[in-house]
Amino acid sequence: MPASDHLDRAAARGLTRRYALALGLVALLTLLAQAVIQFALHRARADAEVVNLAGRQRMLSQRLCKAVLAWRAGGDPARLVEARQVLDEWTRAHLRLSRGDDLPNAGAGNSPAVAREFVAVEAQFQAMAAAARSLTALPASVDRLLDEEAAFLAGMERVVALYQGEAQARVARLVRLELGLCGLLLLVLVLEAALVFGPAVRRLRQAIADRERLRQQELESLGHQVAADTARGIGQDLHDGLGQTLTALSFQARTLAQASAGGPIAGEADALATGIAEAIGQCRAHSRRLSPVDIQAAGLEAALRELADAITRAAGVACTLGWDAGAPPPASAGEDLYRITQEAVTNALRHGRARRITIAVSSQGLTVQDDGQGGTGGGEGVGTRSMRARCARLGAELESGPAAAGGWLVRVRLPAAHLRP
């Protein structure tokens, strides 16, 4: 598996872990917020009941005094029964608020401030309760009940105020806690966007760009392959068609020259045979350029040596090949390196008018250097663009420009991934 695939898989696993962690944290914060809010709502309902019960305690003390006064004024037994019923309800409510354990934030859960207030009104409560229970035995109990009522009501007023203040304080704390959880949740979402979604989007964009680049390289490779196949077909046609025809004409011209030896057309016959021989040589040279040795079968070295020999014979220039036998380039790069060399040599002959061309090949790539005038004489042409496209397909770097010692230099540097044969 290529190293890039390992990196992509590792990056995907890392993004997946971070995404799962972020979702888990969001879910945890959401559940925590719900738990806190539900607990606070439960406490708020209990606070409402506590405040209502404390306010009702004041109302019950007033009903008790009213029933006792009505009984004393008219002696109605029903009023006495009502007073005793109110006394029982009032007593239960007082005990529930001061010492009970069934209400949160009340009774056993009272704050120290509320507990002190209940201690302060306990004497009035006990005195009023005792007076209410002894109405029939001690008529003066009515006055005693009424005397203690004002102090009890004032104490319960303070108790109700404390209950309300503590309930409001708890609501305020809940609001702050909820805002804090909301802020923390937003922070997690921001971090998720920065650490998970951002890298994921960048990785997706990079993957799309890589796929587009690979698609473009595949199209260029297909174009090069089609061009190479077309060139091979033309080269083969030149060799098998025009080459064979010229060979037959060469034999005929040679026969004519021999038959006319010493005659008036002997010179023209010799010139015709010589011209046809030169045409055969050029046809073979062009055929080899268009249809070189099978690089996969014979190897890049054999193809380049044949190219150098053909250039030397056809163009009359010194074209030499330097081959690093200990570290040749990989076979997979052979076709592209051959075509790049062929284009560089053609440019040296066509535009630079070179008389000497040196080709050097190693595992790092190749160089083609000539002693010509340099350049292509009109900016980057089709040949140079073709060389760059082939280098891009190999992932190689192309350097094309004037050499330090004169002439023109074309250098192809293969990437590290290609340095192993």
Q: Which residue has the higher pLDDT, 95 or 328?
A: 95
Q: Which residue has the higher pLDDT, 129 or 277?
A: 129
Assign 91 a pLDDT band (cuts: 50, 70, 90). Answer: very high
381 Cβ neighbours under 8 A, 6+ residues apart: none
Q: Domain locations in the chain?
A: 3-206, 299-421
Pick from 190-204, 253-267, 319-333, 349-363: least confident: 253-267
| pLDDT value, residue 410 | 92
What DSSP character marks residue 380? Answer: S
Assign 358 a pLDDT band (cuts: 50, 70, 90). Answer: very high
pLDDT of 290 > 70? The answer is no
Give the dihedral sign, CA 370/308/420/219.
positive
pLDDT tens-place string over residues 55-73: 888 899 999 899 898 888 8
Pick from 74-83, 86-95, 173-182, 275-284: least confident: 275-284
How many Å apart are CA 275 and CA 273, to the nearest integer?
6
Taking residues 297-320, report their average pLDDT.
82
pLDDT of 420 > 50? The answer is no
Pick the CATH number of 299-421 from 3.90.800.10, 3.90.1010.10, 3.30.565.10, 3.40.50.300: 3.30.565.10
pLDDT of 13 > 90? The answer is no
pLDDT tens-place string over residues 93-108: 999 999 988 888 888 8
Taking residues 370-382, report their average pLDDT.
68
Q: Which CATH class is domain 3-206?
A: mainly alpha
| pLDDT value, residue 411 | 93
pLDDT of 1 > 60? The answer is no
Pick from 165-174, 196-205, 392-401: least confident: 196-205
Taking residues 206-221, report their average pLDDT.
78
Pick from 25-39, 220-234, 404-418: least confident: 220-234
**Helix, strand, or coil (residue 345):** helix
Distances (CA, A) of 21 to 31, 133, 203, 253: 15, 67, 19, 88
| pLDDT value, residue 231 | 67
How many Å apart are CA 155 and CA 185, to the nearest integer?
45
pLDDT of 116 > 90? The answer is yes
Tell me if the pTM is above 0.85: no
Taking residues 335-345, report their average pLDDT.
87
pLDDT tens-place string over residues 221-231: 676 667 666 76
The DSSP line for 110-175 is --HHHHHHHHHHHHHHHHHHHHHHTTTT-TTHHHHHHHHHHHHHHHHHHHHHHHHHHHHHHHHHHH
pLDDT tens-place string over residues 20-31: 887 888 888 788
| pLDDT value, residue 285 | 66
| pLDDT value, residue 47 | 83
